[in-house]
Amino acid sequence: MVISTGSTQLTTLKNFLQHSRFWKKLVRFKVSVPITTPIEPAAEVLHHLQFTQLLPFKKGLEIQEKFVRANLDFKQLQSKIKKQLAELQEEYPKSVLNPAEKEIIDNILAMKPNPMVLTFQFEPTYTGGKRIKKMITKNLIEQFETFQPTGKSEKTVLAPKFVQTERGGQITFHGPGQVVAYLILDLKAFKDFSAKRLIYTIEHAAMNTLKETKISDTLLNIETKLTENTGVWTIYDAKIASIGIHVRRSITSHGVSINVNTDLSYMNSFDLCGIHNGKHTSVQEQRLDLQADPEIIAINFVKQLAKLLGINKIERTQVTKSDTLKKNNNK
């Protein structure tokens, strides 16, 4: 028997394994080499907008939508320019742009938004994905919105809200102590990058974060795995990160939530993410000896994501309660 090990065959096998359920059941190791690389100059810098104050979930959606709309508007402008240039070439085959015209067009195209990650901590909110949109009942929504966390009085916590979203997946919870990261980027600005490969990238960025992040000079070293369901689990089958994305004209939104020091009773009191009797865990529960910090997890997740996207430069802006912007460049 002859086994071919040519590059084409290996690439085909790699792509098959990455997207198969069989492969996901086996994955416990980390992927630290780039899964893709930028093919446009605008994609070579990753912006991280880090919100450090607790926000209402709908406010986060509004902020995300503004950046998504900016990307979609640019794609529309880009499409019009290409179409007009093609029509001009067809009507006048021998015509060429003079240097001034070419410079104007190049400058316009250079204004394309960079990939961006928005990180938040939200007020307690149960969110529905597309798969649950037609099945959710008023009774279940009422259960979510009247839920009282274990051991806490009504006077000390905000009442949870339910919000329907356009991301993939079913019902998830967002709240204090959880890092929510929204990824806004153009899939076509990266080499061979599909929505499935983006999910795979997010999963491994989360896994690497949980393994390699340092708290007080101590590695978290939390062992995680993938299963046939989207998301990240500990090796003891407790879910620690949920993932759901939305794509419009190759522009992505939504992303991942990582439980850091979240009140787990919000999640373990219901069947979330379509998993019956599923257990949720957090960084704090896995490492009781450390003081888990959502801000540190957010920063390290973006660093791990950038590595897997083949991006070498991160520009981070922190938005504080006083709305003061602190910009840090990480090259």
Cβ atoms of residues 216 and 293 within 8 Å: no
Alpha-carbon distances of 278 from 93, 142, 239, 244, 274, rounded to whole Å: 63, 21, 8, 17, 9
> Any known ligand binding at 242?
yes
Residue 66 DSSP label: H
Kind plus residue range of the DSSP H or E element containing 162:
strand 161-164
Question: Which distant-in-sequence residues (6+ apart) come within 8 Å of 326 by Cβ?
Answer: 317, 318, 320
For residues 170 and 182, give the distance between their C-alpha atoms in angstroms, rounded to a whole number.
Answer: 17
> Any known ligand binding at 6?
no
> Any known ligand binding at 250?
no
> Any known ligand binding at 167?
yes
> Any known ligand binding at 173?
yes
> Any known ligand binding at 170?
yes
Write out the two tokens for 189: 């600005």
> Any known ligand binding at 175?
no
Known catalytic membership, residue 62: no
* Residue appearing with tokens 């990753």: 46
- Crossing angle of helices 99-109 and 57-91, in 10° steps, is 160
> Any known ligand binding at 232?
no
* Identified catalytic residue from 198, 273, 296, 302: 273
Question: Which distant-in-sequence residues (6+ apart) come within 8 Å of 253 by Cβ?
Answer: 64, 65, 68, 167, 182, 183, 184, 245, 246, 247
Residue 67's CB: how many other CB atoms inside 10 A?
18
Write out the two tokens for 101: 């015209």
> Any known ligand binding at 317?
no
> Any known ligand binding at 318?
no
> Any known ligand binding at 256?
yes
Q: Give the active site residues.
A: 273
Q: Would you list which residues are annotated within the binding site for substrate?
A: 167-174, 242-244, 255-257
Q: Would you list which residues are annotated within the binding site?
A: 167-174, 242-244, 255-257
